[in-house]
Each structure stands twice: as structure tokens, then as C-alpha cells.
Amino acid sequence: MMRQGCKYGTHRVLEPQGVLPQPAWKIDNTMEISDNEILVDVQTLNIDAASFTQIKKDVGDDPEKVAARMKEIVAQRGKHHNPVTGSGGMFIGTVREIGPKLKDRDLKPGDRIASLVSLSLTPLRIDHIKQVHLERDQVDIEGQAILFESGIYAKLPSDMPESLALAVLDVAGAPAQTAKLVKPGDTVLIIGAAGKSGVLCLYEAKKRAGISGKVIALGHSERNAERIRSLGMADEIITADASKPLEVMHEVERVTNGKLADVTINVVNITGTEMSSILATRDNGMVYFFSMATSFTAAALGAEGVGKDVTMLIGNGYTKDHAEISLNVLRESPKLRELFEKLYV
């Protein structure tokens, strides 16, 4: 008789007992499904940028060492949950089996899907790592994963390559949340604007702020600034070190005549950028931390320490219709599609 599972996957938690799969240290990654689980044959993992950067910093830019570290994490934890950054990533694969409680879903064995929940809570088994793509944070594997009843996913679109869709869906929450947060006339600062999620957020910010708004893009190098410039989506481009708060604040003051940003969106993959985001935002403005490298403690106590009254949001990788909103960015913007195809296909 097939075992019954908890909607949220708590039946998979091995230690510590009583917690949900994401904060758990170790989960059960045996691939025999419960009545409310989906078994997927996994082809590619898209590792969270902060996690992949940390792994490469730890073991170097050696694909074999990166692969060994990833397999070590999964062997220890039953999931790809980086113990340093706390983040995971997502996968694409082919549905193999669907539990009987989920038979009424619009899903069948053989469907190609992308997971829209983090690998940090997803039971994963890696049998073999076929290729590590150091330049795009993606890893081709032979293995399997489990999606819980509460786990969200997207069927892969037919109008773009799978690696392209995976790159977009990995950060789908960021542009979708940007679309919700930015209002006509807003001054918006994107920190980490040249990265994968950054350019998608640039597009949505420009679209939502409109001709009466202003979009400021911050990149850490002239090369990044040139990428942003080529897209034509920023009204102002700043080249600065996001880990130096006063430098960033003065640059934002310069391009806003001292008014600062109404909305700041932080999508960098390095630590220590909380105060740059806070100081660059006007009092009663909004700071959205999408980066998994963000420290809640540094943001909360730092804002208090400088007497800054800003609303701070922690990036939620899910918002309603986020997959379709983000994929539509590439459909609407030939320049962004060309850039993503160059980087991720």
C-alpha cells in the first residue's frame, strides 16, 4: 500500500523532527513516492547564484571539484541545500510518476516541467553529474527529484529552448515582484542590474515606472555598465561597489538631485550590500531584497542604526503568475532574448 504524505512534505524530514523540509538539516531522498508526490527524472539543475558563487569560491573554478561538492551536499542532506548560503536552486526534468491524490492535475507522465520551489527543500538524488556549466550556474545530471503536493512547477514552454526557460524561471519571482511594486512615476534603483535577475527587473521597472519615472541601474564594473547600456532600459547607470554604502548613496543622490530612490531592488549575489540598499532609499521608501545573500540581521539593525524609516521586503520566489510574467519579458523584448540566448543556450 502506498504511503500517505503530508501536503508540505514533513513526512520526508529526518532531522530535526517537527520542522518543514526547507529548514530541516536532512530529508529522506528515497525515490519511492507517497500518494501525494510527483517523481521527476531530472536533466538539469539551475543552482542559486549565491550558492554557486560560494561553491566556486570554496573549491575553485574546477568543474570536477564543483561536481564533487554538489554531490557531497546532496549525500549529507538529501537535497541541494548549501549549508553556507542556505539556498538551493531549481530543476528541469520529465515527469515519471504521479501519486493517486494528484491525478486530477493537468499533468501526466512524460510532461517536461521546471520546478518553481527551491532545491533547498526538494528531495534529490544525483546518480551522475554529466556536465558543469560554470558560466551559467547550471549542471546537467542523471538523477531524480520529488515534488510535494504543495510544490509549484511550470510546464516548459514550446517557444524557447529549455536552458533559456530554466534561466528565466530560476529568478521568476524577482521581475514579477518588481511588476507589483513599481508604480508610474517611481524612481527605481536596481542593485546588481547587469545580472540575470537584474536585467529582467530593469525591464519590468522601466515598463511600470513609465515615462514619468526614472530607472537607475547599478553595476560593479564598466563591463556590466556596457551591458546595461546596450539594453537601453536604464535612465541612469552607476558603476559602484555595492558593498560600499556611502559610495552608493552619494552616486544615487547625484543622479536624483538628493531625492534618492522610491523603490530599491537588490538582486546581487554577494554579501554585505544591505546598507547600500537602505541608504540609497528615501525615508518611507521601499527596499526589496531578492538576493539570497541578504542578512536579515544586517538589514534590520543597520536601518535602525542609521535612523532610516524604510519598508523592507524579503524576496519571495513565488508570486501569482510569476512564471508567465517572467517568460513574457523575453517574448516582449528582443534585446533581452538575444542576451539570454547568448548567455544560457
The 10s digit of each residue's pLDDT in 170-208 is 889 999 999 999 999 999 999 999 999 999 999 999 999
pLDDT in tens, 63-89: 999 999 999 999 999 999 999 999 999
Q: Give the Cα separation of 107 and 155 in Å (integer).
A: 9
Angle at CA of residue 114, ends 119 and 76, nearest 5°: 20
Confirm or reject CATH 3.40.50.720 for domain 173-344, answering yes or no.
yes
Contact, 54 vs 98, CB < 8 A?
A: no
Predicted local confidence at residue 320, as pLDDT: 85
Ordered by start, the domain boundaries in the chain are: 10-156, 173-344
Predicted local confidence at residue 255, as pLDDT: 98
Give the residue ranges of the chain where pLDDT is below 70: 1
Task: Name every residue whose Cβ is closer than 8 Å to that of residue 89 and which is 6 or more positions away in sequence.
Answer: 45, 46, 47, 48, 51, 52, 80, 118, 119, 137, 170
Predicted local confidence at residue 69, as pLDDT: 97
Measure Cα distances from 108 to 104, 119, 330 in Å: 10, 22, 27
Q: Give the Cα separation of 21 and 292 in Å (integer).
A: 18
153-155 and 89-98 beta bridge pairing: unpaired
Omega into 16 within 30° of 0, i.e. cis?
yes
Task: Name every residue whose Cβ is closer than 8 Å to that of residue 70 and which is 6 or more positions away in sequence.
Answer: 45, 47, 55, 80, 126, 129, 139
Q: How many CB atoms lie within 10 A of CB 270?
A: 17
